[in-house]
Each structure stands twice: as C-alpha cells, then as structure tokens.
Amino acid sequence: MRILLVEDDPILADALLLSLRQCGYVVDLMTNGLDADYALTHQAYKLVLLDLSLPKLGGLQVLSRLRGRKSGVPVLILTARDSLKDRVDGLDLGADDYLTKPFDLAEVEARVRALLRRSQDIMEKVITYGPLSFNTVERGIVADNQPLELSARELGVLEILLLRAGRVVSKEMMIEHLYGWNERAGGNAIEVCIHRVRKKLEPLGVNIRTVRGLGYMLDRSHD
C-alpha cells in the first residue's frame, strides 16, 4: 500500500518514514510542494500526509491542485498551523483530517488506519485464500487463526499476491508497489523476499509458483 509523505523537516520526516514503513506501508517522501504535485500527477497513492508550510509550493496549493484533478485520495494534513482559519481552509479544500504538531506517532498511525478504512469501505476488508486471512486495513495476516510472522517487505509481497490471487504478478509490478521512489531495488531483492515468504507458506499448503518469464502467483498445493 503506497503512501505519499510531504514534509520538509528532515527529523520529523525520518521519524514518520520509519514509523510508517514499520507498519508495512510503502512510503514516498517529497520535501517540497512542486515535487509533491508532480508525484501526485504521475503516481497513484492510497493516502497523502501533507505538511502546509512547504517550499516552492504551499501545501494548500498542492491540495487544491490535487482536488482540481478530481482525485479522491484521502489527505491527512500534518502542520504546526493550529488556527481555526487554517483548519477550515484545509478542510474546505478537501482534506480528510487535520493533525497539528507536535503529535505522537501512534496517533498518526491510528489516523492513517482510520482514513484507509473509510476509503476502502467499498473493498472487501478481509481477503481469504486457503488458510490465510488478510485484513486490508489493519494489514495483518493470520494463518489458521494464528498470526503469521512476516517482515514489512514480506508482508508487502504477500499482500500483492493475495490481492491478485489467480493472476500472475510480475517482478516489475512488485518493485513498483514495494519500493519508494528513493529506494533502489532489483529483481534479485524480489527473488530473495519471495524465497523467504515461500518457506513460511509451504507448511500451510500454499505455494508461490514461479511462472517463467512472467512472474509469480499463489497456488494451493493440494488443489
């Protein structure tokens, strides 16, 4: 699940990146409004965390341009501006939530989950595949009613495969969904991650099948 974080404070940005990535999200970081506007024009996101006091293009302008393109992606404003007018302006321009600095990272994570839950009401919240159950909002996977221990990257791999069960997922698609713009990744990294997830799934009767030249897909071993 891909999130855009727009924050020019390097210390806060690093803390938010670490927090969100530990939750299993793929996060792109932009530190000015122009780069954020470009990213929102060329990449699909599930959520945007947006500061207002940005260089080159202000956060409210980024938000206005986003809604002007008829995008409905949820936007959580994170800002030191705490006046009533700032909150009203942000909400009137189409923000979905507003959180003033300083804030606790746990609250940011909770608000992210809440916004994603609202935006995915039209989706099936829990996806099942054999003994696996994946909660698309809480981003947890259980196998035979027991939590399946996965790293954030492994969770991302399995999420993509579960959301596309029955279809082949290419390495290129996995890289696009699992790595941010500032992260380097290659086919070997995906292969290593696939190998680790495959070992954890084998005792459950679920396999990740390699489709030569095309990619990977889930396969029930006993089917």
Residue ranges of domains in the chain = 2-119, 126-220
Helix axis angle for 10-22 and 105-119, nearest 10°, is: 60
Contacts of 160 by beta carbon, 8 Å cutoff, 6+ apart: 169, 173, 174, 177, 178
> Measured between alpha carbons, how far is 96 from 193 in angstroms, rounded to an integer?
35
Question: In whole angstroms, what separates CA 206 from the centre of its chain?
Answer: 25
Burial zone of 28 (CB within 10 Å; 0-12 exposed, 13-18 middle, 19+ buried):
buried
30 beta partners: 6
- Given a contact cutoff of 8 angstroms between Cβ atoms, the answer to whether 134 and 162 are in contact is yes
pLDDT for 2: 86
Q: Taking the chain (223 residues) in consecutive chunks of 10 residues, what is each chunk's mean pLDDT? A: 92 94 88 95 92 93 93 91 80 89 91 82 71 81 87 87 85 79 70 91 89 87 52
126-220 and 2-119 share a CATH fold: no
- Give the domain 2-119 fold: Rossmann fold (3.40.50)
SS (H, E, C) 19-68: HHHHCCCEEEEECCHHHHHHHHHHCCCCEEEECCCCCCCCHHHHHHHHHH
Number of H helices, E strands in the chain: 8, 11
Q: CA end-to-end span of the chain, whole Å?
A: 29
pLDDT for 181: 66
> Which residue, 186, 120, 116, 195, is CA-closest to 151?
195
**Token pair listed for 10:** 């390097």
Helix axis angle for 171-178 and 187-201, nearest 10°, is: 90
> Looking at domain 126-220, which CATH architecture does it have?
Orthogonal Bundle (1.10)
Record the pTM: 0.65
pLDDT for 25: 86
> Which residue, 158, 168, 172, is CA-closest to 217?
168
